[in-house]
Structure 1
Amino acid sequence: MYNLFKLDNGLRVVVEDIEYVNSVSVGLWVENGSRNENTSNNGISHFIEHMLFKGTHDRTAKQIAESIEDVGGQLNAFTGREATCFYIKALDTYLELSLDILSDMLFNSNFLEDDIEKEKGVIFEEINMSEDSPEDVLADLHTKAIWDTDSISLPILGTMDTVKSFSKKMLVDYIDSYYIPENSVISISGKFDMKTIESLVQKYFGKWSCKNKKITEYSSPEILNKHYFRKKDIEQLHVSLGIPGVELGNDDTYALILLSNILGGGSSSLLFQKIREELGVCYSIYCYISAFKNTGIVSIYAGLSPTNAEVAIKAIKEEVRKFATIGIDNDRLFKAKEQLKGSYILGLESTSSRMFSNGRSVMFMNKINTPEDVIRKINDIDMSKVNAVMDKTFKRGIINSTYVGKENEMLKEVFEGKIISVDK
């Protein structure tokens, strides 16, 4: 059973009662991420996520962790481009404790100067670790090729310089502007009493208010035709190729996921069979979509030897062209729909996955997207829908790309000399 309600302060709450489980997952979602930032405060959303675990007026950092772990629960958080989420999964008897901990972290965190300076060192190590991962470097570089200077291209971790600049005042002022009830969602999934849940959430979050409110509004960035190369002394060349996608909340997303799966979603996909199995020129290759507010992209990733780059990339471009031109038949469409429904349903087998799904849906679309709704939308995909989505995505071809690895002059031939080398 689902329910969606709003507190007087504007905080949206989505709850899903699942009677047959003995656990509950609680998520505090804030529509704020690296896309809300600028070049001066880049990384502040991720930094705040860390600081909320560092102790409150009543609990030390250790006590925050112990309060959940000592009862067998899990406490964690993540920051993305458009949202930050703090979440707890525990036995259903600890629902109120979970709400208490999350509200305490949000409203009563200390932000001590010593903790801020220590956490800068932790974030520096996280940035260094990311820099040592060619896949992470590639992902950040590709956002620049897709959206250039728009804030959506800023790295989630920020930079060494921006993180160094963070002060207590900057952090507290930012929270007061962006961590506001109107921008936020509480998502609860699992076993609980539907009759008392509203009053329980009201108890811990009903008094939430802020002074300098900034309601999140995102731009509609153009998807650009840029090609970047970053030199790294590693054995493999890591490649990311971009095709225009669809924005978050667009029902075309389901048809696009279906097409993406056919092209590069697994070992039976067209790209895997052609590039890895038939040509043998790479180990890893796959396709995935990224959907954001007002924009979206389809990415093809490949990890391969630099000596195979020219053959592999030309073959990938040809496979995309053939896929967009020939399309799929009814038999392939039926199988792809069944595969998509199966993977979706299997992905909802836990209370935490249901909490994530509900929270994200209410956060960005202001509605509950039930499994029945999703299955119906997948079932409604027909050949006319497939062709319409193909026209505005894959038929436009690969329009941006990035590469991380050793110098390779052959790449410039593949993209007619358009590739630009960058340092960072």
Structure 2
Amino acid sequence: MLNNKDVTDILNDLSDSSLNEDSPIIIKNEKFSTAALVFSVRMPLTGHNLAYASLLARMQMNASASYPTLSAQQVILADLYDLDFAVVPQLYGNKLVLSYIANFIEPREILDPDYNYERIIKILTDIIQHPSFDQELLDFSKKQLTDSYRELMESPANRALDNFFRLWYKDNPDYANSFMGPIEEIENADLDSIKKYAQNLHQAPALISGMARDKKFVSKLAEKGFNFAGLLDEFWSINNQIPAPKDVIDKVENQGNIQAQLYMGYGFHDKSMTFKEQAAGLVLVQYLAGDQSSKLFTKIREELGAAYAVDANNYANNSLFLINAGLDPTLVDAAKKIINEEIEKVKNGEIDSDLFAKAKKSIRNLRLIREDQESFYLAEILKKSLFVSYSDIDFSKLITQTTTKSLIDFTKKLSLNESYVLK
């Protein structure tokens, strides 16, 4: 596990990297045996962009122009000591970021003269920049996604979440897709349309980031290897938050499930959610539904006698505080009453001080665990690059500074906009 000095050194290196300069942003890796290279492309979030990003991601993880078959690409990545390569669409409010993420063993860890930064980055840039547009590959990738989608939708919890967001964004359907975009767009995609989409990505704002022991050399290789016009554009975005809807929706659907899925969406009604308010929202998540000792889980279990699951999330970029529970269909109305009552209690200052302190401590402990993972620092680079004001934020400090008044002020800006139940 990394000690405090290790973490401080890495974060200081991240702070020292100017996020206003052109990419790449490679921070020095002194603590991990693996390095990472990430190439990210930013675009507006639309149903079309998400569907095609999901399809292109799957195609590029399967094959590329340089390695045109599934086996060929798998062999070359395995030859790089099982380099881990993933292409991941990520949602940040009204923005979509398509990230190509490669994790690989630092060359200094292996006594192999043929395994070096030059070869690794050459192979990665070839795969990322030169997709294969082959009908068989397209059909295979589409089938993978449609099979995954059907499997996801077989779960009542996933189906309920998908339905919830479709209602939440009924007036803005581009934001309504919670998984891989409209499945019909994926099914109807052809070679010409996916090729045009991939070509257009070269003009979208792009970012090179990562971690490496020889950060200057890797930066030089990556800068030389990637040839995207979008690298010359600013990657950051001024406004990513989607306002909460004004409508109030209360809907129940019956499918005869043994377990009901309850989703209660509280809109955050202000111009934007500040980072201080995001910290308060995170503490409220932990306070209400962080674990089995949290306020809602114990309350529902004590008063109703059963709760399969109780969870909460603060979707800051969506202006949404979401609480969901899986329980007996006959207990839904009683659970809704308890959830609303607990939100009102926080608004009125009725906060369990011991549970509040425990919630803050749990968040700090979870962060310590995350700081022992390379992915934490890669995510920090992306957030600091995407959100202009995030570069000056110490989120751990904001959690420490969060008070019960912070929770009161935060909940006073919440109002119930949607209650959705799938039975």
Matched letter for residue 4 of structure 1? S
Whether 2:131 is the aligned partner of 1:103: answer no
Q: Relative to 1, partners in 2 of residues 1:66 and 1:144: Cα closer, same or farther, differing over 3 Å?
A: same
- Take 2:185 and 2:170, find their aligned partners in 1: how far apart are those partners? 19
Q: CA deviation at 1:329?
A: 6.2
Q: Deviations over 1:306-353 (max 9, x none)?
A: 122222222222222223223436655444333222211211211123
1:52 alignment partner, SS class: helix
**Pairwise mapping of residues 15-34 of structure 1 onto structure 2 (< 5 A)?**
15-32=26-43
Q: Relative to 1, partners in 2 of residues 1:80 and 1:68: Cα closer, same or farther, differing over 3 Å?
A: same
Q: Relative to 1, partners in 2 of residues 1:162 and 1:235: Cα closer, same or farther, differing over 3 Å?
A: same
Query: CA RMSD for the aligned pairs?
Result: 3.0
Q: What residue number does 1:12 align with? A: 23
1:111 alignment partner, SS class: coil
Unaligned runs of 5+ in 2: 1-12, 108-115
- 8 Å CA contact 2:308–2:326 kept in 1: the answer is yes
- Take 2:320 and 2:119, find their aligned partners in 1: how far apart are those partners? 40
Matched letter for residue 67 of structure 1? I
**Pairwise mapping of residues 390-405 of structure 1 onto structure 2 (< 5 A)?**
390-393=411-414, 396=415, 398-405=416-423
Identify which of 315, 323, 327 aligns with 1:300: 323
Identify which of 67, 70, 74 aligns with 2:76: 67
Q: Relative to 1, partners in 2 of residues 1:361 and 1:78: Cα closer, same or farther, differing over 3 Å?
A: same
**Worse-matched range after superposition: 269-278 or 355-364:** 355-364
Unaligned runs of 5+ in 1: 406-424
- Take 2:118 and 2:421, find their aligned partners in 1: how far apart are those partners? 48
Identify which of 177, 197, 213 aligns with 1:174: 197
- 8 Å CA contact 2:47–2:182 kept in 1: the answer is no
- Take 1:67 and 1:363, find their aligned partners in 2: how far apart are those partners? 32
Matched letter for residue 138 of structure 1? A
Whether 2:215 is the aligned partner of 1:201: answer no
Matched letter for residue 144 of structure 1? R
Q: Relative to 1, partners in 2 of residues 1:322 and 1:219: Cα closer, same or farther, differing over 3 Å?
A: closer
Q: Deviations over 1:257-303 (max 9, x none)?
A: 011210111112100110024432322112111232xx321111111
Q: CA deviation at 1:57?
A: 2.6
Q: CA deviation at 1:218?
A: 5.9
Whether 2:100 is the aligned partner of 1:92: answer no
Q: What residue number does 2:52 align with? A: 44
**Pairwise mapping of residues 243-322 of structure 1 onto structure 2 (< 5 A)?**
243-245=266-268, 250-292=275-317, 295-322=318-345
1:90 alignment partner, SS class: strand
1:87 alignment partner, SS class: strand
1:344 alignment partner, SS class: helix
Q: CA deviation at 1:376?
A: 2.1
Q: Relative to 1, partners in 2 of residues 1:109 and 1:268: Cα closer, same or farther, differing over 3 Å?
A: same
Q: Relative to 1, partners in 2 of residues 1:274 and 1:51: Cα closer, same or farther, differing over 3 Å?
A: same
Q: What residue number does 2:86 align with? A: 76
Q: What residue number does 1:422 align with? A: none
Q: What residue number does 1:416 align with? A: none
Q: What residue number does 1:389 align with? A: 410
- 8 Å CA contact 1:263–1:269 kept in 2: the answer is yes
Q: Deviations over 1:353-404 (max 9, x none)?
A: 321232233234475467xx222222232344333222213xx3x3212222
Matched letter for residue 119 of structure 1? S
Q: What residue number does 1:421 align with? A: none
- Take 1:42 and 1:209, find their aligned partners in 2: how far apart are those partners? 21
Whether 2:181 is the aligned partner of 1:158: answer yes
Q: What residue number does 2:9 align with? A: none
Matched letter for residue 103 of structure 2? K
- 8 Å CA contact 2:202–2:228 kept in 1: the answer is no
- 8 Å CA contact 1:226–1:401 kept in 2: the answer is yes
